[in-house]
A and B are shown apart, each in its own frame.
Chain A
Amino acid sequence: MSESRDVKVLGVWASPFVMRARIALNLKQVSYDFLQETSFLTEKSELLLKSNPIHKKVPVLIHNEKPICESLVIVEYIDDVWTSAPSIFPCHPHDRAIARFWAAYIDEKWFPSMKGISTAQGKGAKKAAIDQVIEGLVLLEEAFVKSSKGKPFFGGEQIGYLDIALGCFLAWLRVSEKMHGVKLLDQAKTPGLVKWAERFCEDPAVKGVMPETDKLLEFAKILFAKMRANLPK
């Protein structure tokens, strides 16, 4: 197919945002070159700086030499371009708005609260940060129940936009659980999401791109050590 002739994703294996772009392309069965930023923590490649001069961040999708930036914008673009494959977005405008609403909530509120666990100083702050993440997951559980209407995913029978927006964080969620000895996704409070998480990770579109928890845990330890070293004293 001519549209798939030149599709590249600039990214890093550990980034949940990069995963979004890759999952979306996989869902559409579009082959692409995954160009990894190898020195991402220290130095960004020329291609990245040229393709995303404003934010200098991954992911960048380069389609027929044109760059598209910002993970959720990329996912929408993929859905807009490859229309013959199953739709990532729901059909009805209101359902689309709900999906966008929760994706924005995940990026603006929930993910920052996840990061908050690692930066919290002291037991009290850590517990408060963990509680906040769980509260967010409880809201997302309700959203899941409403959105899925008894089906396996937020998107229904198949993975959709909101599945991608949240599911990309599952490996990091497990890393957080291991690092801090807590259960964030919990059978008691978020039973729907617990089962959904298993289904999401098993999906062929996700399996190849979701990092293994142990590998990510090792990476996280190095990353946090570097971040702590860089904190102002």
Chain B
Amino acid sequence: MADEVKLFGVWGSPFSRRVEIALKLKGVNYEFFEEDLSNKSALLLKYNPIYKKVPTLVHNGKAIAESQIILEYIDETWKNSPILPKDPYERAQARFWARFIDEKLMPTLWKVFWGCEDHDKVKEEAKEHLETLENELKDKKFFGGETVGLVDIVGNFIAYWVPRIQEASGLVLLTEEKYPKLYQWSHEFENHGDVKVKLPPNDKLLAYIKSRLEGVSTSK
């Protein structure tokens, strides 16, 4: 039976793009449904009734939600080009760092860029978390070693979105000077053949971010 793979997502969402990157790395064909988040499709609501969010993957009629869970599903279903290591300890480490990015680093970065209370304190936290991730990278090309792995894919926001948010806002945390390894990694990641084609176009994303930031500042 031919595999039927559908992905409900949005062009500008790092979470949605994570899934696209993983499917591309594995050479899996899929049908993409661009959602209008202000007017969600009946199909999305059917396939993800609990959270009603993107990305949602539907494989042969069965739905999977939450980007990290989708990534694990993709790795377990299509065994070529693995994104998780084989060794149990290394797998646990990959899962740990993927969680760290989503539960600690991304939320603080998000608050810093879009504005929050105790801004200076949150900024310091974000810098600490970036430092932690910098130290974890060590001398590896990717977090996954020689190849793009789970942590790299989950880190897509840092590699691609953060530099553009920094450009649009003028608020700069991630610099080559302070985080040379992360900086280098972000270039390797962005330019990886399978990743490159699955990232949002630079100009379009930059324009979108600028408009969002203007919306935030004028509403204050």
Contacts and interface: CB of A to CB of B under 8 A. Distances in A.
Interface string B177-212: 000000000000000000000000000000000000
A136 B159 CA distance: 36
Nearest to B88: A80
A77 B88 contact: yes
A94 B73 contact: yes
Label chain A's interface by main secondary structure.
Answer: helix
A79 to B, nearest CB: 9
A68 B59 contact: no
Contact of B92 (A76, A96, A100): A76
Given A77-B88, A80-B91, A104-B66, A139 B73 contact: no
Label chain B's interface by main secondary structure.
Answer: helix
A66 B92 CA distance: 11
B34 interface: no
Contacts, number: 54
B99 A73 contact: yes
Nearest to B87: A80
A97 B70 CA distance: 7
B43 interface: no
A66 B96 contact: no
A68 B69 contact: no
Contact of A74 (B73, B92, B132): B92
8 contacts: A54-B100, A63-B89, A77-B88, A96-B72, A96-B73, A97-B64, A97-B69, A101-B69
Given A76-B92, A101-B66, 16 more contacts: A54-B104, A66-B89, A68-B92, A68-B96, A69-B96, A70-B99, A73-B92, A76-B91, A80-B88, A93-B73, A93-B76, A97-B73, A100-B72, A101-B64, A104-B69, A139-B50
